[in-house]
Structure 1
Amino acid sequence: MPAVPTPARRRLSGTAGATLVVALLVPLGVLARREPPAPGAAAQPGPVAVLHAAAEAAERSAPPVLRPGETRYVAVHRSTLESVPAGRGRTLAVRNDTLTEEWIPADRHDEWLQRVRDAAPPQIWDDRSRTFVDDDPAPVTEWRGRCGSYFARRTQDPCRRPGLWQDPTPQFIATLPADPAELLARLRASAPDGGFRDQEALLGAAQALERDLLPPPVRARIYRALALLPGLTVTGRRAVPHGRPGTALGLDHAGTRAELVIDPANGVYLGRTRSLTAPHDGLSAGTVTDAAALTTGIAPGLGEPPRQLRRSDRS
C-alpha cells in the first residue's frame, strides 16, 4: 500500500444522513470550471515539443541547497468533489479541500514530518437549499518517520523500503528504466485493473512528480516517457485550482479528462486535474472533480512555515 498517508474518509455530521441526501440527477455546482480559450489565441506547440522542452529544462535544473537546520517544504493542496454512499441506496455529494504538508531534511535518514489538515471546511450538498453547506472539520493529523517512512513496522528498516510511484524511494527510483518506452510500459503496468491504462499512467506519473522527490534527470525521463502517450494533447495554459498557471496536457477517455500541468520553461511540475468532458451524475461537462496543486519551498525547520519559495514556484 502507498506509504503516503491519506486522511480517512470523514465521518459526516449527525444531521447529514437525515437531511442532506442527494439526488444525483440535479445540478450540484462545480469545483472549478474551465475558461474557454481567448479568441485569436496563438497556436500552442504540440505535446511532444512541450514535454521535451520540459525534460531539457529539468536536466539543467538542480535541487535546492539547504543551510544547516533547514528542510525542504512540499505542500499539495487537493480539492475533490465525490459521491459518498449514505446507506439505503442513497448518495451524498461531498467537497473536500485538504492541504498535505511535508518537511524533508537534507539527510533523508533523519526524521521527516507530514501534516494533513483541512484547507477549507468540508461541504455537503443540501437538497433543500440547493447549495453546499459546511460540515464538521476533520482533525489535523501528523506523522513523523525517518526517511519519510511514516508507517514502518518495527522489524522493517524505514530507509530501505522498496517504494512505489506514490512513494518514490531511492530504491524504487533505481529500478526505473532509462528508455522512455520501457518507462511508459512500467507506468502502464502499474495502472489499476479496469481503468484506462494510458490515462492512469499519466496520473501515476503525476503522483510521483507530486512528491517532489525525483532527481531532475528522472523527472526528465518521465516527461519523455509521457511524450509517447497516444492521444495526449496540449489543452491550453491554465492554473490548477490553488496553483499557478502552466501548460496543461490532457488525455480523454469515457467522459473524463486527466491533465498534468507543467512549466516547460523550467521543467517544474505544477499539479494535476481530473474533470468531466460529458455530463455525469448531475454534474455538467467541465466540472473538475479532483485537483492537486504543488508548492515547494525551504523552511527553517520541521513543522515551520516556509520562509523561501523556490524561484520557479513564485507566481
Structure 2
Amino acid sequence: MDDITMVRQFREAMAEPDPATLRRIRQDVLTALPSGADTTPAGVRNRWSSASWRPGVLGRIGVRAGGRAVRFGLAAVLVGAVATGLVVVEPLVTRDGQPVVGHEAAAAELNQAAEAALRASDPALRDGQFFYIRRAGAALVGFSGGPCGGVSYLSTSVAETWVPHNWTDQWMSRSTYDLDRQYFRPEDKARIEQCDDQRSPGAPEVRKAPAGLFYPEGAHKIDDEPRDADGAIVYHLSPAEIERRLAHGGWQMPTPQFMADLPRNPTRLLDRIYHDSAGHGRSRDQEAFVLVGDILRSGIVPADLRAALFSAAALIPGVRLAADTANLDGRQGVAVTSTEGGNTRVELIFDSSTGEVIGEREVVLRDGYRPGLSRGTTIRYTTVSRQVVGAMGATP
C-alpha cells in the first residue's frame, strides 16, 4: 500500500473538523513558535530571469537600461485570468512579526489538497471535445535609466489553449500581451508618457499545431512563419516529429507519457524531482518546490498525479505556509512557499478543499527592493483554470 492510499483510508475514518477548529489549530501553531525562531521569509530565486522571451510564453519580466527594455521570459507556456488592481499580500505573522509559519502547517494544507485531489474526478474528453485552459498573468517591467528611470509597472497578458482528446491532433493557442498596465505610484503613469513605450495591445496571436508543438525547434522564424487564410500561424508536423514531442516531455512541458512515468508514491516522486532538478536553483529544496509548481501550472496534470505532487511537496523541508486565505483574481486558497533567501518569495496557491491549483505569485519581502515597491507587494502572478468545451476556439 502506498502513502497516499494509507492517508486516504485513514482520512475516511475521521470526521472533518469544522472551520473554527482548523483556524484555532493554525493559531496554536503560530503561538507555539519560539519568539527567537528563525522564521524570516526569504525570496525564491526568479528561475525565469535567464530565459529567452518569445511570443506565446506566459509573461515577461524586464528591466529597462537607458530607456531600452531588457525583458526576460517567465518559463511557462500558458497563462490564466487577470487580477484587477494592485495586490498587496497580508500574510500570517508569528508573535515576533515574521510573515511565515512553520513547515507543519504547510504540510497539513498540502496533504489535505492531496486527499481532495484523490477524491476528485477529472472530466473526461470525448472525440471532438477540448480542454480549454485559460491563464492570465502579470509580470514586472521596470526602467533603470533614461527619462523613466525608477518607474515600474505590471504588464498583464492572457493566453488560452485548446487541448484535444487525442494529443496528436491539432491544438490551438491564442495569446495577447500588454493588455493592461498596473502602476505602483500615481506619478509613474505620467512619467511613462515621456518614454517611447506607449504601445497599444496587439491583436491576439493564434497558433495551431499537433501535440501542442507551437514552436518547432529550428522550424520557425520571427515574422516569417507559415500562416493560414485567417492569419493564424500553423505548423504541419511529420508523425516522427509528433512522436518525438510526446516522448520528450518535461516538468515545464509535460506530456501524457512523461506524467504516466512519474511515481505516484510521494517519497519516490520527490526523489525523482530532486534528481531532475539537481544542479539548478539556489538550493536543492527550493528547486524541488519550483519544479512542483512548474508542472502543476500546466493545468493538464491528472488528479492522481496532482495528489502525489501535493504530498511530495509536503515532504520538502523548506516549504512553509505563507497565508491561509490567499486571494488571487477573486479565488481564495492557501499559499505555500519555499524560503531560501533573496528579496522576493514565490508562492504556490491552491484550494486545499478541492485539490485544484489556483496559480502562483511572487511577493516582495523588503521595502526598497525597487522604487515604489513596498514589502508585501505582488510583482508577478499567474492564475489557471480548466474547463471542457465542444470545439476548438470555443469558450465556456
**TM-score of the aligned structures, taking structure 1 as reference length:** 0.76
Question: What's 1:309 paired with?
Answer: none
More helix by share: 2
Q: Residues 73 and 296 of structure 1 are in contact (CA less than 8 Å); yes or no, is this contact kept in structure 2?
A: yes
Q: Could you list the per-position Cα deviations for residues 248-288 of structure 1 after superposition, in whole angstroms to 9, with x for gaps in the alignment?
A: 11222323222111112221111111111112122211011
Structure 2 unaligned residues grouped into runs of 5+:
1-50, 70-84, 94-100, 220-236
Q: Residues 160 and 171 of structure 1 are in contact (CA less than 8 Å); yes or no, is this contact kept in structure 2?
A: no
TM-aligned CA distance change 1:236 to 1:194, over 3 Å: closer
CA-CA distance at 1:7 after TM superposition: 6.5
**TM-align CA RMSD:** 3.8
Question: What's 1:23 paired with?
Answer: none
**Corresponding residue to 2:269 among 183, 195, 220:** 183
Deviates more, 1:137-146 or 1:79-88: 79-88
Q: Residues 31 and 81 of structure 1 are in contact (CA less than 8 Å); yes or no, is this contact kept in structure 2?
A: no
Report the Cα distance in structure 2 between the residues aligned to 1:62 and 1:103, rounded to whole angstroms.
20
- Where do residues 49-88 of structure 1 align in structure 2 (5 Å cutoff)? 49-83=108-142
Does the residue aligned with 2:328 lie in a helix, a strand or coil? coil
Question: What's 2:352 paired with?
Answer: 264
Q: What amino acid is the match of 1:281?
A: R
Q: Residues 110 and 147 of structure 1 are in contact (CA less than 8 Å); yes or no, is this contact kept in structure 2?
A: yes
Question: What's 2:378 paired with?
Answer: 288
TM-aligned CA distance change 1:122 to 1:238, over 3 Å: same
Does the residue aligned with 1:201 lie in a helix, a strand or coil? helix
TM-aligned CA distance change 1:240 to 1:206, over 3 Å: farther
More strand by share: 1
Q: What amino acid is the match of 1:264?
A: S
CA-CA distance at 1:83 after TM superposition: 3.1
CA-CA distance at 1:8 after TM superposition: 8.4
Report the Cα distance in structure 1 between the residues aligned to 2:287 and 2:55, rounded to whole angstroms.
18
Is residue 195 from structure 1 mapped to residue 279 from structure 2 by the alignment? Answer: no
Question: What's 2:210 paired with?
Answer: 146
Question: What's 2:176 paired with?
Answer: 117
Does the residue aligned with 1:65 lie in a helix, a strand or coil? coil
Q: Could you list the per-position Cα deviations for residues 88-116 of structure 1 after superposition, in whole angstroms to 9, with x for gaps in the alignment?
A: 9x665342101111111122221111111
Report the Cα distance in structure 2 between the residues aligned to 1:10 and 1:277, rounded to whole angstroms.
18
**Corresponding residue to 2:301 among 214, 217, 227:** 214
Does the residue aligned with 1:253 lie in a helix, a strand or coil? coil
Report the Cα distance in structure 2 between the residues aligned to 1:159 and 1:205, rounded to whole angstroms.
25
Counting aligned pairs with the same residue, the percent is 28
Report the Cα distance in structure 1 between the residues aligned to 2:388 and 2:175, rounded to whole angstroms.
18
Does the residue aligned with 2:295 lie in a helix, a strand or coil? helix
Does the residue aligned with 1:303 lie in a helix, a strand or coil? coil
Question: What's 1:300 paired with?
Answer: 390
Report the Cα distance in structure 2 between the residues aligned to 1:175 and 1:277, rounded to whole angstroms.
38
How many pairs are equivalent?
A: 288
Report the Cα distance in structure 2 between the residues aligned to 1:198 and 1:243, rounded to whole angstroms.
30
Is residue 157 from structure 1 mapped to residue 241 from structure 2 by the alignment? Answer: yes
TM-aligned CA distance change 1:222 to 1:212, over 3 Å: same
Report the Cα distance in structure 2 between the residues aligned to 1:75 and 1:113, rounded to whole angstroms.
12
Report the Cα distance in structure 1 between the residues aligned to 2:241 and 2:376, rounded to whole angstroms.
45
CA-CA distance at 1:194 after TM superposition: 4.8
Does the residue aligned with 1:96 lie in a helix, a strand or coil? strand
Report the Cα distance in structure 2 between the residues aligned to 1:191 and 1:240, rounded to whole angstroms.
32
Q: What amino acid is the match of 1:181?
A: T
Report the Cα distance in structure 1 between the residues aligned to 2:61 and 2:167, rounded to whole angstroms.
31
Greater Cα radius of gyration, structure 1 or 2: 2
Does the residue aligned with 1:262 lie in a helix, a strand or coil? strand
CA-CA distance at 1:35 after TM superposition: 3.1
Structure 1 unaligned residues grouped into runs of 5+:
21-29, 307-315
Report the Cα distance in structure 1 between the residues aligned to 2:118 and 2:167, rounded to whole angstroms.
22
Is residue 35 from structure 1 mapped to residue 85 from structure 2 by the alignment? Answer: no
CA-CA distance at 1:167 after TM superposition: 0.7
Q: Residues 95 and 122 of structure 1 are in contact (CA less than 8 Å); yes or no, is this contact kept in structure 2?
A: yes
